[in-house]
């Protein structure tokens, strides 16, 4: 039973344009959400997070939006750069769960020149 879903396995975007990655969750107990970026043959690296008390969090080119009523979050990358080509995972947790995360299956982003 996958509680975190990334329904788009891949996304292709032109350099300089906006990348929008989507993530849906089913567990209403989740109250903390993160995005990770992963290059081949490396471990995932933390990108940005958001608590359920917020609906938006920005860090440079990366913005995460949370819509609790829809159980949906999205990651916006603007402008997209070639180095953003990677697999992006969203993850969710309940803050009283010892930090046990549920991860989505990932979205492969390819930024083209």
Partner 1 sequence: DAGITQSPRHKVTETGTPVTLRCHQTENHRYMYWYRQDPGHGLRLIHYSYGVKDTDKGEVSDGYSVSRSKTEDFLLTLESATSSQTSVYFCAIRPGEIYEQYFGPGTRLTVT
Q: Which residues of the shown chain bind partner 1 in the complex (CB under 8 A)?
A: 4, 6, 32, 34, 36, 41-46, 49, 89, 91, 93, 95, 98-101, 103-106
Q: How far is the CB of 47 from partner 1 (least distance, A)?
A: 10
Residue 68: exposed, middle, or buried by beta-carbon count in 10 A (0-12, 13-18, 19+)?
middle
- Decide whether 32 or 65 has the Cβ nearer to partner 1: 32
Tell how strand 4-5 and strand 86-93 pair up. unpaired
Q: With respect to partner 1, which residue has the nearer C-beta, 79 or 101?
A: 101
80 versus 93: smaller Cβ distance to partner 1: 93
DSSP state for residue 96 in the 8-state scheme: T
Q: For residue 78, what are its two tokens?
A: 């603007």
């Amino acid at each position: 039973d996958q509680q975190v879903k990334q329904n788009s396995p891949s996304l292709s975007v032109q350099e300089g344009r906006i990348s929008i990655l989507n993530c849906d969750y089913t567990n209403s107990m989740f109250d903390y959400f993160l995005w990770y970026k992963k290059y081949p043959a490396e471990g995932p690296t933390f990108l940005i997070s958001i608590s359920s008390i917020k609906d938006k969090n920005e860090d440079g080119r990366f913005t995460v939006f949370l819509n609790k009523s829809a159980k949906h979050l999205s990651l916006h990358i603007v402008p997209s750069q070639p180095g953003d080509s990677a697999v992006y995972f969203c993850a969710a947790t309940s803050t009283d769960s010892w930090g046990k995360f549920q991860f989505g299956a990932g979205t492969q982003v390819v930024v083209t020149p």
